[in-house]
A and B are shown apart, each in its own frame.
Chain A
């Protein structure tokens, strides 16, 4: 059967691409919605303080978020360090 696949496009369909792109933006919005734990702003502030003790980073260098995947919650930390 594999010779038949020559005629099939290997490219993803545009609908498939649309779905994947949407899943990313929607997950992002849902993560940034107000259903964060209450300690989030404080955690963010304290992390920044610690970081700034050792390296020079901007005030918005620390981004945190929570990704939910079924029962699993992943705390996501994103720290931007300036290049030397």
Chain B
């Protein structure tokens, strides 16, 4: 039986798709058969970030409506074994995601995959709701910035009340993922620190991804940043995946590099 993991945030542009693509790729790289589904019907982008936009023939909505079967719609990644992508429909709207249909497709996929990663759209409407509805665990992607933190808190409220798990008396296991972190600005008191965000949202931290040029560069070429093995962001996602799978990994890229002046003064 597969584990269903939703990547969600409430706010747009914080790095959900970047995180979902690298997280799924990382799981597959470690030998786990993984599928990543784009729930952003009407505004699909996961295919671009994964670099398979020209190979989309059928999509998630086609499978829900029975116009195609899963085998036809799942796109096998060419770089990483065990990795499959299910694109969102570009022409339909979010109402095409009816709950029964989503559940049926997820159940069918659960027989074949170890992990199903659901890339949620922004907002708190139907698409976001459907992405989290059947989740076992959630990665809550947050930027250290007021609107993102508030929206994440709102999403945590939904995970605790609107999911199947919550309705049946259980709970979705929540993980905090802080992205676009700039330690130097934290040091100057210009950005919320990890501790601040953790304290406010009160869920365990799974990973921190530093603000990094590699994220834009890799999306330009349609490659999940985790495959940029020399970039800070790529390494941060590696760590995140390892921790998700139960390994202990110390946090990296969370301290500001000290300048020469700071080093001479021995300041932190």
Using CB atoms and an 8 Å cutoff, list the residues of chain A in contact with chain B.
Answer: 13-16, 18-19, 21-23, 25-26, 29-30, 33-34
Q: B192 near A15 (CB under 8 angstroms)?
A: yes
Q: Which 10 A-B pairs have the closest CB atoms?
A: A13-B189, A19-B196, A26-B153, A15-B189, A18-B146, A22-B200, A15-B192, A22-B149, A18-B192, A15-B191
Flag whether B105 is at the interface (Cβ < 8 A): no
| Known contacts A13-B190, A14-B190, A22-B146: A29-B154 contact under CB 8 Å | yes
* Interface contact tally, CB-CB below 8 A: 43
In the complex, which range does the number of interface residues on chain B fall in? Answer: 10 to 19
With A19-B196, A25-B153 known, 20 other A-B pairs at CB within 8 A are A13-B188, A13-B189, A14-B189, A15-B186, A15-B192, A15-B193, A16-B189, A19-B192, A19-B200, A22-B146, A22-B149, A22-B200, A25-B150, A26-B149, A26-B150, A29-B154, A30-B153, A30-B157, A33-B157, A33-B161
Residues on B lying within 8 angstroms of A by beta carbon are 145-146, 149-150, 153-154, 157, 161, 186, 188-193, 196, 199-201
Q: What distance in Å separates the Cβ of B200 from its nearest Cβ neighbour in chain A?
A: 5
Output the least CB separation between B193 and chain A (Å). Answer: 7
Identify the closest chain A residue to B201 (Cβ): A26
Point out the residues of chain B lying under 8 angstroms from A30, CB to CB: 153, 157
A13 to B149, CA, bound (A): 18
Interface centre among B186, B191, B196, B201 (most CB of A within 10 A): B196
Q: Once bound together, how far apart are the Cα atoms of A60 and B193, in whole Å?
A: 39
| CB neighbours of A26 from chain B (8 A) | 149-150, 153, 200-201
Contacts A14-B189, A15-B186 given; indicate if A34 touches B161 (C-beta within 8 A): yes
A75 CB, min distance to chain B CBs, angstroms: 22
CB neighbours (8 Å) of A13 from chain B are 188-190
Residues of chain A with a CB closer than 8 A to B189's CB: 13-16
Taken together as a complex, chains A and B put the C-alpha atoms of A18 and B188 apart, in Å, by: 14
Point out the residues of chain B lying under 8 angstroms from A18, CB to CB.
145-146, 192, 196
Please, how many angstroms separate the alpha-carbon atoms of A16 and B189 in the complex? 7
* Alpha-carbon gap, A84 to B251, bound state (A): 60
Measured in the bound complex, the distance between the Cα atoms of B186 and A15 in whole Å is 8
Asked if B196 contacts A15 (CB within 8 A), the reply is: yes
Query: Given the complex of chains A and B, what is the CA–CA distance between A21 and B196 in angstroms?
Result: 12
Can you report 18 residue pairs joining A to B where beta carbons are below 8 Å apart? Answer: A13-B190, A14-B189, A15-B186, A15-B189, A15-B190, A15-B193, A18-B145, A18-B196, A19-B200, A25-B150, A25-B153, A26-B149, A26-B200, A29-B154, A29-B157, A30-B157, A33-B157, A33-B161
